[in-house]
Homo-oligomer: A and B are copies of this chain.
Amino acid sequence: MTRELPLDPKRSALLFIDVQNFCVRRDGGEFKAVPDADIIGKYAYYFERLKSVAIPNMVRLQAAFRTARIEVLYTVIESLTRDGRDRSLDYKITGFNVPKGAWDGKVIDELAPGDDEIVLPKSSSSVFVSTHIDYLLRNLNVKQLVLAGVVTDQCVESAVRDACDIGYLVTLVPDACATYSQVRHDNTLRAIKGYCRQVSTEALIKEIGVLRGR
């Protein structure tokens, strides 16, 4: 048995994690109060990584998976109420609240969900804890889960760990992920290498193309 299996399109899905205005846009809820000095200072790596690497790769992934007719899902930080009373204790403590329906909770325009694609609001780091995604993936007959999004060492890593523990074969796409520094990004990739295979956007798109060419 091995984790290093190519995708079976009929048993696969691609999940984008938290690629939403709140935490990807300079004027999103997480950053709008951050002074410019920090945006061009401590957050320079993050926004540059998003712009030059992660978002373009996510856009390519999304297109390739749609073409291959593999299910694409999204999860976003968003409460089910405006005041966030339904949020996790963790998000209450952290002070995260993306009110139901707010712009902050929308997937970024570049990656806008299709009309019949599934978007799951969540209020915890791991999408498996605060949504019923495991139930949905089961109903969709998904066995292999591809993960991309932000930030690599928090919500993405938690999803990798839980997905693996639950029994999915997880493929992480590191160059379609971002976090606040290259060191943090690299550390997490090492830490979770036993829980997932790690494949570049380029290689994964090729893999899917080959599958389609069959």
Q: How far is the CA of A140 from the CA of B141 in the complex (A)?
A: 17
Judge whether B132 and A165 touch: CB under 8 Å.
no
Contact at A136–B80, with CB atoms within 8 Å?
yes
Question: B116–A165 contact, CB under 8 A?
Answer: no
Total copies of the chain: 4
Give CA–CA (A103, B169) in the complex, Å.
Answer: 30
- Contact-residue size bin, chain A (C-beta under 8 Å from the other chain): 35 or more
A140 touches B187 (CB 8 A): no
6 contacts between A and B (CB under 8 A): A85-B140, A87-B139, A90-B165, A125-B195, A132-B132, A153-B191
A188 to chain B, nearest CB (A): 7
CA distance A145 to B169 in the complex (A): 24
**A82 CB-CB contact with B under 8 Å:** yes
Residues of A82-120 whose CB lies within 8 A of B: 82-83, 85-90, 92-94, 100, 116, 118
Q: In the complex, what distance in Å separates the CA atom of A195 from the CA atom of B167?
A: 24
A130: nearest chain-B partner, CB-CB = B135
Verify if A12 is at the interface (C-beta below 8 Å from B): no
Q: Which residues of A contact B (CB under 8 A)?
A: 1-3, 80-83, 85-90, 92-94, 100, 116, 118, 123-126, 129-132, 135-136, 138-140, 153-154, 157-158, 161-162, 164-169, 184, 187-188, 191, 194-195
**Alpha-carbon gap, A157 to B188, bound state (A):** 12
Within the complex, the shortest CB–CB distance from A172 to chain B, in Å, comes to 14
Instruction: Give Cα A43 to B92, complex, Å.
Output: 41
Instruction: Given A80-B136, A100-B116, check contact A165 B126 (CB 8 Å).
Output: yes
